[in-house]
Chains A and B, each alone.
Chain A
Amino acid sequence: MRARKALALGAAIGSAAGAVLLRRRAGRSRDRVELFFDDGSLVTFAQGSPEAVPLLLHARELLAAARG
C-alpha cells in the first residue's frame, strides 16, 4: 500500500516537473524583441503580438544578411 502511494506521488512530482520544463523550453524558443529606453524602461514584444511582427521581420533580415 505504502509502495503504491510512494509510486503515485513520485509520478505526480515527475510529471509536474516535466510540465514546468516543457513550458520553460517552449517559452524560450519563442522569438521576441526587447526594447530598452532612456528612462530605464524595458518593453518586450513576443512573437504573435502585432508590435513584434515588423520588428522580428527586420531582425531576421539582419541575421540573414550577417550569415550571408
Chain B
Amino acid sequence: MSVSVKRVSQAADALAHLTEISTQVEAAVVLDREGNVEASTVDDERAGRIARAALELFRQADAQREQELVQLDAALAGGSVFVVRDEERLIAATTGPGPTAGLVFYDLKSALRSFAGPKPKPKPKPRTRRAPAKRTTTTRKKDDAST
C-alpha cells in the first residue's frame, strides 16, 4: 500500500514539475506498456482516451522499422503530439502549433526519469586492506646545505 501511494505521489510530482518547467506542454499522460494510465494532467476520461490513442500511435509507428522506436512527434495544423518511452512506460504530451521539439523531448524524458525514481546505487567494491605506507624522512647534511 505504501508503495502505490509513493508511486502516485512520484507521478504527480513528475507531471507537476513537467508543466511547471515546460510552458509548451498543454496536456501530458504517463501510461504503462499496456495502456493503463499511471498519471495525467487531465481528467480520467480524457486521460484514458489520450492513453489509448498514444499507445496505438506508438505501436503502429514501432512496426514501421525493425529497430525499436524510442520517441515520436507528430506536427499537425492545430498542434503537436509527442510520445516518449523508457523501459517500463510511455509519456504522451500535446502542445500548441510550432513547438521547440528538442526542448519538449528533453522535458518529457526528464519527467519519465523522475517518474521512475532514483536508480539503485551500485554496490561498492570490497576494499582490500593495504599495509600502511612506510614513513620516510629525508635528512639534509649540513655540509650539503652550506654548498
Contact = CB atoms under 8 A, between A and B. Distances in A.
Contacts, number: 89
B67 interface: yes
B53 to A, nearest CB: 4
B126 to A, nearest CB: 35
A41 B72 contact: no
A62 B67 contact: no
A32 B61 CA distance: 13
Given A55-B60, A59-B57, A66-B26, A35 B65 contact: yes
B94 A66 contact: yes
Interface majority SS on B: helix, strand, loop or mixed? mixed
A59 B69 contact: no
B70 A56 contact: no
Interface of B: 26-27, 42, 46, 49-50, 53-54, 56-57, 60-61, 64-65, 67-79, 81, 92, 94, 101
Nearest to A61: B53
B97 to A, nearest CB: 9
25 contacts: A31-B76, A32-B75, A33-B73, A34-B72, A34-B101, A35-B64, A36-B69, A36-B71, A37-B67, A37-B68, A38-B67, A38-B70, A55-B74, A56-B76, A59-B76, A60-B76, A62-B54, A62-B81, A63-B81, A63-B94, A65-B46, A65-B53, A66-B26, A67-B94, A68-B46
B67 A66 contact: no
Interface centre among B69, B75, B92, B94 (most CB of A within 10 A): B75
A58 B35 CA distance: 14
